[in-house]
Structure 1
Amino acid sequence: MSYQSILVALDGSSQGKIIFEKALELAKKNNAKMMLFHCLPFEQPEMAPYSDLYGQNLANFSRMMQESLVESEKDARQWLEAYRDRAIARNIQTEWTWKIGEAGKCICEIANNWNADLIVVGRRGRQGIAEVFLGSVSNYVIHRASCSVLVVQGITASE
């Protein structure tokens, strides 16, 4: 089977490098274009958004969330652009994007909207109770994607 549009789901970890290299190899072999994608998780800072009499806690919470997102977006943009530049240097048409939300849902949505015919995603090797509580992005994508999915086994959660 030949692939023309490969969506590569990345994070900033060393596993992201493994996933990128595998996707790069496939794109080169298939003369395919790539979309690099990162999902910024919606993480709450330590401060709870409980309102006080004047709403100051809520305002502080909102400011902290915005600052956190701006910093995360800046970091993601930097390494996504570095990956893109590496792919372009190998003559692979590549673009990138990011979203805020649940990774599995966002990956499937981007794949549909971009008409990907392959998603390359990693797996950390969580099993049993850890997978139940921490979830599995790769499992979500495998069961809900409208195209083929390649799961790249990487560094396990115990490493």
Structure 2
Amino acid sequence: MAKLRNSKPPIHSRIYRITKRITEPVISPFQNNSNSQRGKTMYKTILVALDTDEDCSSVFDQALDLAKSTNATLDLLGVLTPANDDTIPLTAYYPDFGGYPLTVDAETWESCRKRYKAYKENGKAVLMRFAEQAAAVGVQTKVTQAEDTPGRAICDRAKAKAIDLIVVGSHGRKGLSEIFMGSVSNYVMHRAPCSVLVVHTPPNNQKQNTTAEVAESVA
């Protein structure tokens, strides 16, 4: 049975789902590749999708614990998207195209380019700080920024780099909010080529007991 790829799946699509309060990392028991035979080296590379505009430390911490216990490499991914910085016009996310929209004057366009550069550099700095934390405990990392919609960027990276596990955060959007606005974690769960660990993070950067949801795309 083919995976759902080209259209947004219904809210009640059949997926394996485990939700529980946790104090230790949770590893999905469902695998759609031969990694399940590797024991402690089950995961060679873990893709960590980090929203560098928010407190994503809980997502990173879960991934780091898994990497230490499985001797995996962390692939830290930050996605540059208008959804993360609504002060920058969409067209500013393609600053290398040359020229600028006829409806935007040169001064405004240059201001957008500068803000975009700062936005990108700040995101990279956050990723590098996480990379330094990982290096301090002996975990190897790769750092990447992508310009795309978050869900697609995460899945594309996972496919291109043969990722074994994706770790992504979720703010627990429910009901109409999820239907109309969608969810990055929901998109990834239905389209990822590998196992997915969804770390539920509190809204508005508030601290609370961490919960995790382990979901596997149905083949």
TM-score interval (norm. to shorter): 0.7 to 0.9
Is the Cα contact below 8 Å between 1:35 and 1:95 reproduced in 2?
yes
Evaluate the alpha carbon distance shift between residue 62 and residue 133 of structure 1 in structure 2; reply closer, same or farther with a 3 A threshold. Answer: farther
Give the gaps of 5 or more residues in structure 2: 1-35, 37-41, 92-101, 207-219
Is the Cα contact below 8 Å between 2:48 and 2:168 reproduced in 1?
yes
Evaluate the alpha carbon distance shift between residue 104 and residue 47 of structure 1 in structure 2; reply closer, same or farther with a 3 A threshold. Answer: closer
Evaluate the alpha carbon distance shift between residue 37 and residue 158 of structure 1 in structure 2; reply closer, same or farther with a 3 A threshold. Answer: closer
Alpha-carbon deviations, 1:91-123, whole Å to 9, x = none? 111011111120000000111111111000011
Which residue is equivalent to 1:4?
Answer: 44
Measured in 2, the distance between the counterparts of 1:158 and 1:83 equals: 18
Q: Which moved more, 1:58-67 or 1:70-79?
A: 58-67
Evaluate the alpha carbon distance shift between residue 61 and residue 97 of structure 1 in structure 2; reply closer, same or farther with a 3 A threshold. Answer: same
Q: Does residue 148 in structure 1 map to residue 188 in structure 2?
A: no
RMSD of the alignment, in Å?
A: 2.3
Q: Does residue 89 in structure 1 map to residue 136 in structure 2?
A: yes
Evaluate the alpha carbon distance shift between residue 139 and residue 56 of structure 1 in structure 2; reply closer, same or farther with a 3 A threshold. Answer: closer
TM-score, normalisation: structure 2 = 0.64
TM-score, normalisation: structure 1 = 0.86
Q: Secondary structure at the match of 1:76?
A: helix
Q: Secondary structure at the match of 1:57?
A: coil
Q: Secondary structure at the match of 1:88?
A: helix
Is the Cα contact below 8 Å between 2:45 and 2:164 reproduced in 1?
yes
- Count matched residues: 153
Evaluate the alpha carbon distance shift between residue 46 and residue 141 of structure 1 in structure 2; reply closer, same or farther with a 3 A threshold. Answer: closer
Alpha-carbon deviations, 1:59-100, whole Å to 9, x = none? 345323322220111111111000001101111110111111
Query: Which one has a larger percent helix, Structure 1 or Structure 2?
Result: 1
Alpha-carbon deviations, 1:27-77, whole Å to 9, x = none? 00000001000101125547798xxxxx47253453233222201111111
Q: Percent identity?
A: 36
Q: Secondary structure at the match of 2:104?
A: helix
- What is the 5 A alignment of 1:74-113? 74-113=121-160
Measured in 1, the distance between the counterparts of 2:105 and 2:157 equals: 32
The correspondence for 2:73, drawn from 33, 36, 61, is 33
Which residue is equivalent to 1:52?
Answer: none
Measured in 2, the distance between the counterparts of 1:67 and 1:5 equals: 34
Is the Cα contact below 8 Å between 2:48 and 2:76 reproduced in 1?
yes
Q: Which moved more, 1:61-70 or 1:82-91?
A: 61-70
Q: Which amino acid aligns with 1:120?
A: V
